[in-house]
Structure 1
Amino acid sequence: MLMQKRQADDAVAQAAWLYYVGNLSQQDVSERLGISRFKVLRMLADAREQGLVRIMVEHRTSSTLTLADQLVQIFGLQEAQVAPVGAAKYDDSLARDAVAVLASGYLARIAGTDRPVTVGVGWGRTLSKMADNLTGVKNNALTFVSLMGSVTHASHTAPGDVCVRLAEQTGGRAILMPAPFVMDSADACAGIMSQRLVREALNVAKSADHALMSVGECQNGAILFESDIFDPEQIQELRAVDVVGDCCGVFYKADGSVADIELNRCTPCVQPVDMASMNTVMLAGGMAKLNATRAILSAGFIKKLLVDEALARALVAASHQGRA
């Protein structure tokens, strides 16, 4: 058994070396080792969980610090962190990865305490990547709770999945919202939110110390539109009133106001008004999220922002144009 474990650990280390140091793609590693790509993904995750791989981003450069200061001033934030992303190879996926590393560092920072800490968690690709990048955090006093209902189909990005993975990695516990992301009607939503188990999860979520949320853009190609959550009438409702984005199941117009639509009365979730005492942290990566990020920051309930450099520059530029 000891020999088998040692061989398994060696294989994990080899896969991590080829991917992170050898700069091979996951497909290349799969072919090199003669295993499936899914197995490669699992081995890379194991390498991070075991502390064999530690990913660090040095973001305290003068340019990113200046951008962070500007974002704090413009949007009245308590804190902003900007992840540098090379312009030559920039794409939204790379930007999300960079912001996810920042977020894993933030989570490690707030989790390094002896007292109980409750962290509310939204959903999305960036938050999922954050969970993938978290290493070296062990704290059985941590609680991760969903800030919103979940999707029907199992997904690596779903809030329940992210909460469970974070709890497993840290030794904490996960509390899931036992409700769908969206209900068929406002009456149905009110009914499910009155249920005891949902109320109990909501109460924990509303008392969270921190809320980690990502931005959802309402446009073709967005995870919201690709996940079959909405029926055609609901998508048309979003487009008809120029909704630009969502955060944890609440939909916003470009000026930061909550859209007065039926859909906003059909999503069981923690509302911005419930987040006044939380450290509300928004993760935003990729230029596709510019309009949605501006809108949600304008709503005024976000206290901390983790963002990639290109999007940070665009946010600052858009703000200056708006004042011109």
Structure 2
Amino acid sequence: MTTDELTRLATLYYVDGLTQEDLSKQFSLSRAKIGRLLKRAQEEGIVEIRVKHHPSDTRGLERELITRFGIDRAILSITHKDQDKQREMLAGLVASHLDRVLANDMIIAVGMGRNINAISQHSISSIQRASTFVCATGGFYRGGESMNADHICRRLAARLGGESETLYAPALVNAPDVRQALLENDAVKQTLGKARRAHVALIGVGDINEDSNMVRTGWFSPEEIAELRRGGAVGDLMGYCFIDLNGKPAVTSVRDRVIGLSMEDLKHIPNVIAVASESTKTTAVLGALRTGVINTLATTEAIAQAVVALEQATRTQSSPSLPKDDETASWPFL
């Protein structure tokens, strides 16, 4: 069965309400075959099924985050024990939010990472719009499409309507002088300039541990991550803007080797949507909220609860910091 035929079959079942028995007669196929074809339609992305929790389930917690951290919006998904399913559930909510808020002539600066990539995979819209999705950081050849903002931009443009613009530079270079030369390149300068003028930025929040995605994909070595932790870093924005628990930039030489938007650039974008679905990111999310650059936080109910509790626990401390490795076990939030 061709893609067009499969789409027609799925439309008759999911939109027009025909039963599998009806389809069996209409297409002269067994009900078992119809069932397999409907499953194939889901696997190929022709059909996307989402389960939405009732907003009242998390509304109080969302208000708590908005009031406590001065953000504009919180998007919370219910917690799921399976991390991949958790990421998909949150991605679906953010994709729906984007479909509601995007409009013609908007510029959306797009970061990278598994959560941002998942949003592009779950985005779908029937609205014809002319937005521009521009890379907020350069490309990276390891880690697949989730580590490449260009792939994510192209998919978002195709699914939500608009065009994409590539940042023709690597995300990470070997030395500051190489970075400076690239920043002065006309093509790189023009694209980053457009990203800085974005109406919306879609970025991930990362954690700092030796098993993080940035280590697995080769961005940083376990030794570099350990050094960042010793320097007080608890997480990052966009994979490279490292922050401590107070939301202050962590001292690191990495930022002098990255081609992409800076923390200062994010401050000037009206709606910065930060996304984190992994349970290991409680301290990273709290640090990210304390930077003051986030307007919309998208995370899970469990992370949100832990962030509120951790914020209360550290609020009266004059200099909150991540506990040492041998103290971590006594902190219920990490």
TM beyond 0.5 = yes
The answer (yes or no) to whether the contact 1:59–1:83 under 8 Å persists in 2 is no
1:27 corresponds to which residue? none
After TM superposition, list the pairs within 5 Å mapping 1:68-87 onto structure 2: 68-85=62-79
Other structure's SS at 1:215 match: strand
**Structure 2 CA distance for aligned equivalents of residues 322 and 237 of structure 1:** 23
8 Å Cα contact 2:209-2:226 kept in structure 1: no
Give the SS at the match of 1:100: helix
Over residues 44-78 of structure 1, what are the superposed CA-to-partner deviations in whole Å (9 max), with x where a residue is unaligned?
3531xxxx3352523411x4111001111111111
Distance 1:147 1:59, change over 3 A: farther
Structure 2 residue 289 is the aligned partner of structure 1 residue 297: yes
Q: 1:6 to 1:144 in 2, by over 3 A?
A: closer
Give the deviation of 1:229 after TM superposition: 1.9
Which residue of 263, 266, 271 maps to 2:254? 263
| 1:225 and 2:191 matched | no
Matched, 1:110 2:110: no
What amino acid is aligned across from residue 84 of structure 1 in structure 2?
I
> Cα gap change, 1:137/1:198 in structure 2, threshold over 3 Å: closer, same or farther?
farther
Unaligned runs of 5+ in 1: 17-31
The aligned residue for residue 177 of structure 2 is: 187
Once structures 1 and 2 are overlaid, which stretch shifts more, 215-224 or 64-73? Answer: 215-224
Alpha-carbon distance in 1 for matches of 2:172, 2:237: 13
Q: Distance between the aligned counterparts of 1:152 and 1:277, measured in 2?
A: 28
Contact 1:256 1:296 in 2 (8 A): yes
Classify the secondary structure of the residue corresponding to 1:93.
helix
Matched residue, 1:25: none
* Percent of aligned positions that are identical: 24
Partner residue of 1:94? 85
2: distance between equivalents of 1:235 and 1:318? 23
SS across alignment from 2:250? coil
Deviates more, 1:294-303 or 1:90-99: 90-99
Say whether the 8 Å CA contact 1:108–1:137 is kept in structure 2.
no
Distance change in 2, residues 1:92/1:6 (3 Å): closer
User: What does 1:171-250 align with in structure 2 at a 5 Å threshold?
Assistant: 171-231=161-221, 234-248=224-238, 249-250=240-241
Contact 2:179 2:256 in 1 (8 A): yes
Q: Distance in 1 between matches of 2:93 and 2:255?
A: 30
Change (3 A) 1:59 1:120: farther
Q: How many residues align?
A: 294
Distance 1:240 1:320, change over 3 A: closer
Q: CA-atom RMSD, angstroms?
A: 2.9
Q: What is the aligned partner in structure 2 of residue 19 from structure 1? A: none
In structure 1, what is the equivalent of residue 111 of structure 2?
122
Q: CA deviation at 1:138?
A: 3.8
Q: What do residues 77-110 of structure 1 show as CA deviations (whole Å, max 9, x unaligned)?
A: 111122122xxx5243333222111110111011
Can you give the 5+ residue segments of structure 2 that lack an aligned partner in the other structure? 15-34, 317-334
Provide the C-alpha distance between the structure 2 equivalents of 1:190 and 1:235, rounded to a whole number of angstroms: 24
1:163 to 146, 153, 174: 153
- Please list the CA deviations of residues 251-276 of structure 1 after superposition, one character each: whole Å capped at 9, or x if unmatched: 11222111121112211111122232
Aligned CA distance change for structure 1 residues 287 and 136 (closer, same or farther; 3 Å)? same
> TM-score, normalised on structure 1?
0.81
Q: Distance in 1 between matches of 2:290 and 2:122?
A: 29
Secondary structure, aligned partner of 1:224: helix
Q: In the aligned structure 2, how far is the partner of 1:263 from the partner of 1:74?
A: 31
Contact 2:210–2:225 (Cα < 8 Å) also in 1: no
Match of 2:131 in 1: 142
Higher relative contact order, structure no. (Cα contacts within 8 Å, ≥ 6 residues apart): 1
Residue number among 45, 57, 74 corresponding to 2:52 in the alignment: 57
TM score, norm. by length of structure 2 = 0.79
The one-letter code of the counterpart of 1:270 is: L
Larger Rg: 2
Q: 1:140-188 CA deviation, whole Å, 9 max, x = no partner?
A: 4111111112212361312111101111223411112212221112222
Residue 131 of structure 1: how far off its partner (Å): 1.2
Amino acid at match of 2:247: G
1:313 paired to 2:313: no
